[in-house]
Chain A
Amino acid sequence: GNSVTQMEGPVTLSEEAFLTINCTYTATGYPSLFWYVQYPGEGLQLLLKATKADDKGSNKGFEATYRKETTSFHLEKGSVQVSDSAVYFCARSNTGKLIFGQGTTLQVKP
């Protein structure tokens, strides 16, 4: 079926550690791919996006590359900060509506 699968959390890292949050998707066609972030007590915010194969989305030091061959869109950051602690959602869209993964909680400790 059409779905998005994320690695389970919580992910706990020390400040300045390297972050990877895995995301894979199943879909017909060539969906647009997104990472959204939800900081504590706040609404969903778009973090980055990619609309075609091999595109790299980036924002605030986060990056993700649209890998068609592995149907993946893994989120990475080279050096996390305490302020990056949040829930991260991978999502895809073919037709307008977003299909989300279950979310991955990131906790960054000083």
Chain B
Amino acid sequence: DTGVSQNPRHKITKRGQNVTFRCDPISEHNRLYWYRQTLGQGPEFLTYFQNEAQLEKSRLLSDRFSAERPKGSFSTLEIQRTEQGDSAMYLCASNPLQGTYEQYFGPGTRLTVT
């Protein structure tokens, strides 16, 4: 069990560019979550998957954001036409279908939009 991994760890991009982040959950974890955390705040839920199915999306997730988990294993989060307000830490977490909802977090991808 190697834990949740995320790539890249840091991304600097110019406004208007597209970026894609990857998350590899703990193997055999059915559920995968994306959160966004800005400085001085707690993580905010963006979306989650149960296997391949995207079951919930936050109203925070604008049309410029899309997430996929095509084979029920790793997931990608894409942001199109980035804006400076997208600068944040993007966190991924996973947990098994059965359990007490505790989630295991990856180290995050820090996005800076210049």
Segment at the interface with B among A13-21, A60-68, A76-84, A90-98: A90-98
| Contacts A96-B31, A97-B48 given; does A34 touch B40 at CB 8 Å | no
Interface centre among B41, B45, B56, B103 (most CB of A within 10 A): B103
- Given known contacts A97-B33, A97-B45, A102-B41, A44 and B91 CB-to-CB distance under 8 angstroms: yes
Q: A43 near B: Cβ within 8 Å?
A: yes
Question: Which residues on A sit within 8 Å (CB–CB) of B48?
Answer: 96-97
With an 8 A cutoff between CB atoms, is B108 at the interface? yes
Interface residues on chain A, number (Cβ under 8 Å): 23
Residues of A within 8 A of B33 (CB): 96-98
A97 & B56 in contact (Cβ 8 Å cutoff): yes
CA distance A51 to B91 in the complex (A): 24
Inter-subunit contact A43/B56 (CB<8 Å) = no
Tell me the complex Cα distance, A99–B35, Å: 10
Interface residues of B (CB under 8 A from A): 31, 33, 35, 40-45, 48, 55-56, 91, 93, 100-108
Identify the 5 closest CB pairs spanning chains A and B, nearest first. A100-B42, A93-B101, A44-B105, A43-B107, A97-B45
